[in-house]
Amino acid sequence: MATAQRGKLNLDSAPSAQGLHIALVVSEWNNDITGGLRDGAVDTLIQIGIEPDHVTIRPVPGSFELIHGCKVAAESGQYDAVIAIGSVIRGETAHFEFVCSGVTQGIALLNATGNIPVIFCLLTDDNREQSIARSGGSMGNKGSEAAVAAVKMCQP
């Protein structure tokens, strides 16, 4: 969405988040990036009607831990949706591929087997500049997009 729009997300057609309870499971690794994604998601949820105290932030150490954090949140019965927020930036080893693949498969499994939507908001960028651009910079904010996706998935 933001990649195609190259700017601010249009919330005119977004459904209302009124009455929903949403958990944001946020990786602390690359926290300058994940913090921007988190803030974008929270701001968007508030703009489309969620009560601020209906948004819960659940930090986890890194992106791989998003899977367990999301599972715990999803199974708690307290939320209508969960958003997994992380950032993995390519390095010089295969670690990038292992983490990205593992998190992708883990979140997919939670969606296939769980009772509430778990929204995938994991940036998988080649460099920090790409991550900055997608966490509130020139390419928009993927956290905002994830917030809209979560609310859409909660609609009957």
For residues 128-152, give the mean pLDDT. Answer: 96
User: Does position 1 have pLDDT exceeding 50, yes or no?
Assistant: no
Which is it for strands 118-125 and 55-60: parallel, antiparallel or unpaired? Answer: unpaired
* Per-residue tokens: 84: 């997994």
pLDDT interval class at 68 (50, 70, 90)? very high
Residue 29's pLDDT band, with cuts at 50, 70 and 90, is: very high
> Is pLDDT above 70 for 58?
yes
Q: Across residues 24-30, what is the average pLDDT?
A: 97
Q: Is 95 an active-site residue? A: yes
Of 74, 46, 43, 77, whose CA–CA distance to 58 is shortest? 74
Euclidean distance between CA atoms 118 and 71, whole angstroms: 9
pLDDT the model gives residue 92? 78
Q: Yes or no: say if 63 and 122 are a contact pair by the CB < 8 Å rule.
A: yes
The pLDDT value recorded for residue 3 is 47
Fold of 2-153: Rossmann fold (3.40.50)
Task: Inform me whether the pLDDT recorded for 151 exceeds 70.
Answer: yes
Counting DSSP H helices and E strands in the chain, the numbers are 6, 6
pTM of the complete model: 0.93
